[in-house]
Amino acid sequence: MKLTQGTFSFLPDLTDEQIGSQVEYCLDKGWAVAIEYTDDPHPRNSYWEMFGPPMFDIRDAAGVMTELRACRQTFPNHYIKVNAFDSTHGRESLRLSFIVGRPDKEPGFRLERQEGPGRTVHYTTHAYATDRPEGERY
Partner 1 sequence: MGYTDIQSMSLWARRNDMILHLHRAGHSTYTRQKNHGVSFRVISKWMRLAGVDHIHAGTVVGKLEGDPNSVQGFYNVLREEHNAVDLQRGIFFDQDWAGLRGVMPVASGGIHAGQMHQLLHYLGEDVVLQFGGGTIGHPMGIAAGATANRVALEAMVLARNEGRDIWNEGPDILVNAARHCAPLRAALDVWGEITFNYESTDTPDFVPTSTAAA
- How many Cβ atoms are within 10 Å of 104's Cβ, its own excluded? 7
11 binds partner 1 (CB under 8 A): yes
**Of positions 12, 53, 116, 118, contacts partner 1 by CB under 8 A:** 12
Q: At what angle do helices 16-28 and 61-74 cross, to 10 degrees?
A: 130
Closest CA to 33 of 69, 67, 84: 84
CA distance 81 to 72: 11
Cβ distance to partner 1 smaller for residue 7 or 130: 7
User: 96 - beta bridge partners?
Assistant: 84
CB of 18 to partner 1, least distance (A): 7
**Of positions 7, 38, 77, 130, contacts partner 1 by CB under 8 A:** 7
Cβ distance to partner 1 smaller for residue 22 or 83: 22
Closest CA to 102 of 22, 19, 27: 19
Decide the pairing of beta strands 121-127 and 109-115.
antiparallel
CB of 94 to partner 1, least distance (A): 13
Q: Residue 80, class by beta-carbon neighbours within 10 Å (0-12 exposed, 13-18 middle, 19+ buried)?
A: buried
Q: How many residues bind partner 1 (CB under 8 A)?
A: 15
Please list every residue from 63 through 122 that binds partner 1, using CB under 8 A: 88-90, 96
1 binds partner 1 (CB under 8 A): no
Cβ distance to partner 1 smaller for residue 6 or 54: 6
User: For binding to partner 1 (CB under 8 A), which residues are involved?
Assistant: 7-12, 14, 18, 21-22, 25, 88-90, 96
